[in-house]
């Protein structure tokens, strides 16, 4: 009996010492912060924040969040692929999860509602995808309906946008004027938790060689005029326009739609400017623009199975400001992955590579080659086949990546 009592007392003493040691570590805010930084995913931070108010303050500290994002950039959960079956003549959108995923992110994918098939639509297209929100365009009964789908919140219904502004469509007689595009773009708010939405249209007068942009911002459930501007420009290449070469960053809209330069609309000053393409880059092949953190733009160009990535940091229109940051042989990577045209003999243009999407800071690239969609991690040079194009008469129109949201949304703990 005495021996059992001594063992119990020894166990309690050891537990007390362990508790004191844990309290000493976790009671130090600096040490607690270093521990939280070593968690792998934002979902882990949210769970840690639910422990107590002190852990909530530590997990949501802006300095810690900046360091956490540098160590653990948001992960790619999957992508929306918009296809156009030429026989059906309508857009179809499917979500493709990235595989493999760690258990924590696999659980997020299982809980989410990513499919758009539940919506009544004859033609479904994703317009934009940012920070957990997907802007979709649905066509049903002869009319378009646009709204926001939230895959990570399965209980939420589609939030419908009000009718787009009645922007006059130019007279298309003799092809003298035409609309280059009319899209909805999104932008993160200052705190990173919300999004602002913009309706952007660009019209072009061939005879006068003038481009006119109209930008509306969604405020209080109504589209309100943000800015309108006109510029003289020649060589507008509407025929090769790719929607993902138009993006909004800070207070500027970048449009890779001219023959030799990027058209930039400053929303603050309502003025246009241009950034000339790199002087050493041939003016053919595939070109896609993407955001650079801070002020700048990446230009990704592929020709003859060679991918070149350029960075323009200051955006002042000077050719000398372009820097060639990477050159990648796609032929070599495909050979390493054992992808070749030997398995796709019925496909045409097998030696061509098409860029469909480039991530922010040019961290990754989605390509179409050899009858399949490939994902390239630029930093690691890892190439992965992520989707097969099973029908020859189906065209891939757009690819929109879906990233983990950032910053995390922390719980509100009771008083």
CA distances from 205 to 171, 174, 209 (A): 9, 11, 5
Asked whether residue 364 carries a pLDDT value surpassing 50, the answer given is: yes
Q: Tell me the pLDDT band of 245, cut-offs 50, 70 and 90.
A: confident
Query: Among 160-169, 210-219, 258-267, 336-345, which is the least confidently predicted range?
Result: 336-345
State pLDDT tens for residues 286-345: 889 999 987 789 999 998 889 999 999 865 544 458 999 999 999 888 887 776 554 444
**Which token pair is 232?**
């003289």
Mean pLDDT of 31-52: 91
Query: Among 90-99, 312-321, 360-369, which is the least confidently predicted range?
Result: 312-321
DSSP-derived 3-state class of residue 185: strand
Nearest to 397 by CA among 109, 113, 137, 98: 137
DSSP-derived 3-state class of residue 139: strand
Asked whether residue 5 carries a pLDDT value surpassing 80, the answer given is: no
The per-residue pLDDT of the chain, averaged, comes to 84
State pLDDT tens for residues 219-243: 999 999 999 999 998 767 544 445 4
Please give the Cα distance from 372 to 393 (Å, whole number).
13
Asked whether residue 269 carries a pLDDT value surpassing 90, the answer given is: yes
Q: Tell me the pLDDT band of 7, cut-offs 50, 70 and 90.
A: low
Beta strands in 167-221 (DSSP E): 177-188, 195-205, 210-219
**Which token pair is 106?**
């696999």
Higher pLDDT, 17 or 27: 27
pLDDT at residue 348, rounded to an integer: 44
State pLDDT tens for residues 378-400: 999 999 999 987 766 678 889 99
Higher pLDDT, 350 or 214: 214
DSSP string for 12-46:
HHHHHHHHHHHHHHHTSHHHHHHHHHT-SSHHHHH
pLDDT at residue 9, rounded to an integer: 57
State the DSSP H helix or E strand holding residue 92, giving kind and residue range, or none if neither: strand 92-97
**Which token pair is 248?**
């909004």
Query: What does the H/E/C string look like for 382-415?
Result: EEEEEEECCCCCEEEEEEEEEECCCCCCCCCCCC
pLDDT at residue 12, rounded to an integer: 57
Higher pLDDT, 344 or 285: 285
- Residues contacting 306, CB < 8 A, separation 6+: 327, 328, 329, 330, 331
pLDDT at residue 106, rounded to an integer: 94
Asked whether residue 192 carries a pLDDT value surpassing 80, the answer given is: no
Q: Tell me the pLDDT band of 346, cut-offs 50, 70 and 90.
A: very low
Q: Which residue has the tokens 């109504």?
A: 222
pLDDT at residue 133, rounded to an integer: 95
Asked whether residue 14 carries a pLDDT value surpassing 60, the answer given is: no
Helix axis angle, 29-37 relative to 2-26, nearest 10°? 90
Asked whether residue 44 carries a pLDDT value surpassing 60, the answer given is: yes
In 257-323, where does DSSP find H-type helix?
none
124 CA to centre of own chain: 18
pLDDT at residue 170, rounded to an integer: 54
Asked whether residue 282 carries a pLDDT value surpassing 90, the answer given is: no
State pLDDT tens for residues 96-152: 999 999 998 999 999 999 999 999 999 999 999 999 999 999 998 889 999 999 999
pLDDT at residue 397, rounded to an integer: 87
State the DSSP H helix or E strand holding residue 57, giving kind and residue range, or none if neither: helix 53-59
Q: Tell me the pLDDT band of 271, cut-offs 50, 70 and 90.
A: very high
pLDDT at residue 319, rounded to an integer: 47
pLDDT > 70 fraction of the chain, expressed in percent and rounded:
81
């Amino acid at each position: 009996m005495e021996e059992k009592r001594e063992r119990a007392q020894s166990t309690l003493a050891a537990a007390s010492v362990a508790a004191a040691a844990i309290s000493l570590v976790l009671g130090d805010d600096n040490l607690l912060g270093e521990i939280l930084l070593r968690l792998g995913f934002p979902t882990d931070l949210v769970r840690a924040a639910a422990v107590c108010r002190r852990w909530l303050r530590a997990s949501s500290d802006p300095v810690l969040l900046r360091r956490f994002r540098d160590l653990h950039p948001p992960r790619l959960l999957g992508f929306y692929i918009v296809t156009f079956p030429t026989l059906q003549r309508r857009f179809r959108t499917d979500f493709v999860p990235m595989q493999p995923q760690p258990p924590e992110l696999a659980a997020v994918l299982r809980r989410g509602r990513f499919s758009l098939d539940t919506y009544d639509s004859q033609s479904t297209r994703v317009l934009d995808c940012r920070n957990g929100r997907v802007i979709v365009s649905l066509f049903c009964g002869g009319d378009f309906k646009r709204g926001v789908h939230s895959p990570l919140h399965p209980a939420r219904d589609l939030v419908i946008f009000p009718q787009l502004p009645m922007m006059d469509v130019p007279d298309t007689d003799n092809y003298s004027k035409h609309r280059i595009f009319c899209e909805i773009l999104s932008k993160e708010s200052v705190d990173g938790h919300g999004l602002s939405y913009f309706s952007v249209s660009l019209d072009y007068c061939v005879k006068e060689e003038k481009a006119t942009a109209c930008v509306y911002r969604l405020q209080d459930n109504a589209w309100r005029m943000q800015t309108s501007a006109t510029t003289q420009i020649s060589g507008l290449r509407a025929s090769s326009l790719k929607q993902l070469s138009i993006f909004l960053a800070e207070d500027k809209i970048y449009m890779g739609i001219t023959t030799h330069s990027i058209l930039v609309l400053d929303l603050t000053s309502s003025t246009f400017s241009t950034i000339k393409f790199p002087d050493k880059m041939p003016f053919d092949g595939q070109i896609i623009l993407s955001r650079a953190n801070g002020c700048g733009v990446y230009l990704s160009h592929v020709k003859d199975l060679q991918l070149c990535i350029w960075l323009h940091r200051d955006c002042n229109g000077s050719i000398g400001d372009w820097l060639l940051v990477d050159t990648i042989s796609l032929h070599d990577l495909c050979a390493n992955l054992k992808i070749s045209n030997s398995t796709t003999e019925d496909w045409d243009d097998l030696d061509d590579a098409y860029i469909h999407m480039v991530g922010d800071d040019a961290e990754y690239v989605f390509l179409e080659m050899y009858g399949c969609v490939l994902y390239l991690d630029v930093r690691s040079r890892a190439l992965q086949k992520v989707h097969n194009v099973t029908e020859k008469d189906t065209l891939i129109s757009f690819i929109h990546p879906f990233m983990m949201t950032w910053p995390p949304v922390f719980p509100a703990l009771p008083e």
